[in-house]
């Protein structure tokens, strides 16, 4: 089953320095029909003004993945990690037993990014932060695996989840196998997912499917987040 969530129908909030769209209930936006998608709890489509950002704040027992679409985000935390993640690249943070971090847009332009939260497989682990550059050329046979929980991707998280990304073209339709639940994000362009057409900023929640077909119209940059099908008992 595929469910289309159009960008214009998303919840959100405009804080001046931060304009956020929420694919799921978050902060003051609550929709009982959009609380989570399996272990996937949060997808925020954030626009962050230049010379602003998130001041130091704590997290615990959460997997937080940031995919930068435009501009860059600069990270620092109380574990001594510092780094700058630029457009098209990704950073991950396992909050584990507790971490305090800040995320700033130190660029001269607005930064656009996806902030993704996934529940952890284990609680109380040692906090971890990491980042990686992603391939920029259009994909041919399959999307790039960026994040996983089994050591098969450049970035590791504490959950049996996977995040794929890549730019596809009309000349190269793809078939993507799915394990568990999945959520497709259209970062740029337009793409047909099976028979459903989605545009920039849209999301498609996928359940009870073993594979999907992807056809760009005519080009698209997409992410696919795969998570276990049910939220585990806490």
| Mean per-residue pLDDT over the chain, rounded | 95
- 234 or 176, greater pLDDT: 176
Sheet holding 18-22, edge to edge: 11-14, 18-22, 40-48, 111-118, 63-70, 90-94, 128-132
At residue 67's C-alpha, the angle toward residues 214 and 4, to 5°, is: 40
pLDDT digits (tens, 9 = 90+) for 3-31: 999 999 999 999 999 999 999 999 999 99
Per-residue confidence (pLDDT) for residue 140, from 0 to 100: 85
Kindly tell me if the per-residue pLDDT of 232 is higher than 50. Answer: no
pLDDT digits (tens, 9 = 90+) for 100-141: 999 999 999 999 999 999 999 999 999 999 999 988 888 888
Round to whole Å and give the CA distance between 214 and 98. 39
Per-residue confidence (pLDDT) for residue 171, from 0 to 100: 84
Q: How many helices (H) and strands (E) does the chain have?
A: 0, 20
Per-residue confidence (pLDDT) for residue 66, from 0 to 100: 98
Contact (CB, 8 A) for 61 and 99 = no
pLDDT digits (tens, 9 = 90+) for 44-93: 999 999 999 999 999 999 999 999 999 999 999 999 999 999 999 999 99
Share of the chain above pLDDT 90, in %: 91
Kindly tell me if the per-residue pLDDT of 231 is higher than 80. Answer: no
Give the CA-trace dihedral at 30, 33, 39, 42, to 10 degrees.
-30
Kindly tell me if the per-residue pLDDT of 233 is higher than 80. Answer: no
* Domains of the chain by start residue, with CATH: 11-132 (2.60.120.10), 144-227 (2.60.120.10)
Round to whole Å and give the CA distance between 182 and 204. 8
Per-residue confidence (pLDDT) for residue 230, from 0 to 100: 64
Per-residue confidence (pLDDT) for residue 234, from 0 to 100: 34
Round to whole Å and give the CA distance between 210 and 70. 32
Report the pLDDT averaged over residues 159-171: 94
């Amino acid at each position: 089953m595929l469910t289309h969530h159009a960008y214009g129908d998303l919840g959100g909030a405009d804080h001046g320095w931060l304009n956020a769209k929420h694919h799921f209930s978050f902060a003051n936006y609550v929709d009982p029909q959009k609380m989570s998608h399996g272990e996937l709890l949060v997808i925020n489509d954030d626009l962050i003004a230049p010379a602003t950002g998130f001041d130091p704040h704590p997290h615990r027992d959460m997997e937080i993945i940031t995919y930068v679409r435009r501009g860059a985000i600069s990270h620092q935390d109380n574990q001594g990690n510092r780094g700058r993640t630029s457009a098209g690249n990704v950073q991950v943070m396992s909050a584990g037993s507790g971490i305090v971090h800040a995320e700033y847009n130190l660029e001269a332009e607005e930064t656009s990014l996806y902030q993704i939260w996934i529940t952890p497989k284990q609680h109380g682990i040692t906090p971890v932060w990491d980042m990686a550059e992603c391939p920029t050329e259009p994909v041919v046979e399959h999307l790039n695996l960026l994040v996983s929980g089994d050591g098969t991707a450049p970035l590791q998280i504490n959950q049996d989840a996977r995040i794929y990304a890549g730019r596809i073209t009309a000349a190269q339709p793809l078939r993507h196998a799915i394990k568990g639940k999945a959520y497709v994000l259209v970062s740029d362009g337009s793409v047909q997912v099976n028979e459903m057409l989605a545009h920039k900023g849209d999301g498609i929640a996928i359940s009870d499917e073993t594979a999907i077909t992807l056809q760009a119209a005519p080009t698209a940059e997409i992410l696919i987040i795969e998570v276990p099908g049910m939220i585990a008992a806490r």
